[in-house]
Amino acid sequence: MNQELREILQKCERLKTSLSAVRPLPAGALKKIVEAYNIEYTYESNRIEGNTLTLQETELVVNEGVIIAGKSMREHLEAINHAEAIDYIRDFAKSGVEISEGTIKEIHALILHGIDRDNAGRYRTVPVRISGSSHVPPQPYLLAERMERFMSRFHEMEAQGTHPVLTAAYLHEALVRIHPFVDGNGRTSRLLMNLYLLRNGYTIVNLKGSDDARRIYYDALETSHTDPLPFQRLVAEAEVLSLKSYLSVLGEPAE
């Protein structure tokens, strides 16, 4: 860890402490804040994967059940499913139940509900390639062993007291690298990352889907297996922005 990342993580800690000082939030205020952030996160996460619904259209589809003319049924289902998956990780984060491979499969099943019944919540049985990446994910017969190693490393990081933001970043980048599912790996990985952040008292990291932001995100992921620092910094900086946003909405100073 270099000094820059250490300072960003320290800022995360200070902002988290400030947010904790105003918790528990009033139920009414919390509901409105969470709903707004859930829609924005759903929009951006799906946007990264090529969904063309706008932020306003995403809100209409998720909260009002509106069908948007000119948009595919898959895009509608992606919005609805992702919003439900966020509800799931928020509830799971409070439950105290241990994060397991079953948790990951459940998140994935929610993401592909009504889209791909045969593959929802199931590890792939075919080879895959990651578009735009030189990395080749493991063959299907290696998935069980790779996922076991993935979970073992996660438990090691927890036992070693690794900073939660860094552990969350690991959960995302390592799961994407394994690519255990035919489709939906990116969304599932981002949700798993955010589940861990929520469980540790942080706020959801909302990685953006604009062309420039997506390029930076993919570049950081591409190099993460040899140099984890760029992706760790990306996640930590996004957590700082998220915490500041929450504090701003609550009328609290961000520093």
The annotated binding site for ATP is made up of 183-190, 217-218
Residue ranges for the binding site? 183-190, 217-218
Report the distance separating Cα 46 and Cα 6, nearest Å: 30
Cα Rg for the chain, rounded, in angstroms?
18
First to last CA, the chain: 23
CA distance 253 to 18: 8
179: annotated active-site residue: yes
Burial of 2 (C-beta count, 10 Å sphere; 0-12/13-18/19+): exposed
CB-CB neighbours of 194 under 10 Å: 28
Contact 182, 119 (CB under 8 A): yes
What is the distance, to the nearest Å, from the Cα of residue 100 to the centroid of all Cα atoms in its chain? 16
Among residues 135, 155, 179, 225, the one annotated as catalytic is 179
Q: Which residues are catalytic?
A: 179
